[in-house]
Amino acid sequence: MKSIGRKTALMAGAMLMLAGCGSFGGERTGGPTASPTPAQSVGGVSDTPVKIGDPYTIAGTTYTPADIADYDDVGYASWYGDELAGRPTANGETFDPAGISAAHKTLPLPSYVEVTALDTGRTILVRINDRGPMVGDRLIDLSRGAAEQLGLTDGVSAVRVRRTNPPVAERAQLRAGRAVPERIATPDSLLSILRTKLKAMPAPKAPTAAPPVEVQPAAPIASGKAKPGDDRLAVEKPKPAAKPATPAKPVPAVSGKFVVQVGAFSSESRADAAAKSVGGTVSKAGNLWRVRMGPFASDAEARTALGTAKAKGFRDAVVQRDR
């Protein structure tokens, strides 16, 4: 009898030890706990380290990056496409126009946001990995892939941008350049509130024709470096003060033809769409399709057309002398 009692006690103790390493109600009640799994790199793209960066000044405006967890704002979205394909983003990644990414002036790199089109209520998840757009009335710059998923066709569209913390699987999918399913459409009642908020803001203005601004590469922003001609990160050089005592000399008229180089596209259909939106023409240039406006008889006329192209969202458009 004593032997049976000792066996019973040993069995009871073993059961208690096993119970200490089990779970109750779906929660672990004992034993070692797993540490959080760090964000894995997908194709060399990782969510760590998160970069914020120091304040920076572009064209006289200072932007201060900040980690705002509940960021939620309305404004205007533009989009950029194949003209920047393969170039480095502000956090050192390679820009893929077909990916679902975006540029923002101040949010950490990377961050994840829900972007809602205020005309339709459609909402998508986007990964921010770049700085821009450096235009005062623009809130976010979407990649071509993000703009297509959201159904944006105009150069500038009204949107809501809300920061979010998506599941690990969705983060990995966006890092791999693939879209995740759309969010539930925003209800009309909320859209009405957001549209009213947007009305209190100035409408997006088309840039006025102006002489070209001499630019230099900007200082590194969140480990990304500006490139000459990239107006997202272009810094205006201070110009020498004019001498009031010296009368201005008349500028001789420049003869010849001028064109506006809108962009070069790897897809003929995209080039046709771009040309249609600005009233331009498409021509084949190697493996690309080039979109141009013009020719124009004067530089002033070309500058006016340049303003039209930039208002349509083609921020890298430039005036060229067609000799």
Note whether 107 and 163 are within 8 A (CB): yes
| Pairwise CA distance, residues 100 & 238, whole Å | 37
* CA-angle at 242, arms to 237 and 247, nearest 5°: 145
9-13, 129-133, 186-190: lowest mean pLDDT where? 9-13
Averaged pLDDT for residues 96-114: 96
Averaged pLDDT for residues 71-81: 91
pLDDT at 51: 94
In the chain, domain spans: 56-199, 255-322
Note whether 67 and 200 are within 8 A (CB): no
- CB within 8 Å of 317: residues ≥ 6 apart: 260, 261, 262, 263, 306, 309, 310
Q: Which residues pair with 292 in a beta bridge?
A: 261, 281
The distance from CA 322 to its chain's CA centroid, rounded to whole angstroms, is: 33
Supply 86's token pair. Answer: 């393969």
Q: How confident is the model at residue 119 (pLDDT cuts 50, 70, 90)?
A: very high
Question: Where do we find the tokens 């119970």?
Answer: 19
Q: Does pLDDT of 226 surpass 50?
A: no
Q: Which residues pair with 281 in a beta bridge?
A: 292
Mean pLDDT estimate for the chain:
74
DSSP notation for 121-138: --EEEEEEEE----STT-
SS3 category, 269: helix
pLDDT at 109: 97
CATH number of 56-199: 2.40.40.10
Note whether 71 and 108 are within 8 A (CB): no
Note whether 321 and 295 are within 8 A (CB): no
* Cα distances (Å, whole numbers) of residue 78 to 14, 38, 104, 232: 66, 33, 11, 12
Question: Where do we find the tokens 């809108």?
Answer: 262
* Cα distances (Å, whole numbers) of residue 87 to 58, 169, 213: 20, 26, 22
The distance from CA 87 to its chain's CA centroid, rounded to whole angstroms, is: 14
14-18, 159-163, 301-305: lowest mean pLDDT where? 14-18
Averaged pLDDT for residues 83-97: 90
| Pairwise CA distance, residues 179 & 35, whole Å | 29
Candidate ranges 25-39, 71-85, 161-175; pick with highest mean pLDDT: 161-175
Averaged pLDDT for residues 141-167: 92
pLDDT at 243: 45
Give residue-wise pLDDT tens across range 162-184.
999 999 999 999 999 999 999 99
Q: Does pLDDT of 153 surpass 70?
A: yes
pLDDT at 134: 81
Note whether 321 and 256 are within 8 A (CB): yes
Global pTM reads 0.55
Give residue-wise pLDDT tens across range 202-213.
666 544 333 333
Question: Where do we find the tokens 């230099």?
Answer: 216
- CB within 8 Å of 303: residues ≥ 6 apart: 209, 210, 211, 319
Instruction: Single out the residue of 96, 79, 83, 80 nearest to residue 265, CA to CA.
Output: 83
Give residue-wise pLDDT tens across range 259-318.
888 887 777 877 888 888 888 899 887 777 788 888 888 877 888 888 888 777 777 778
CATH architecture of 255-322: 2-Layer Sandwich (3.30)
| Pairwise CA distance, residues 264 & 291, whole Å | 6
Question: Where do we find the tokens 């100035």?
Answer: 202
Instruction: Single out the residue of 90, 177, 176, 199 nearest to residue 141, CA to CA.
Output: 90
Phi, psi of 257, deg, nearest 5 = -105, 150
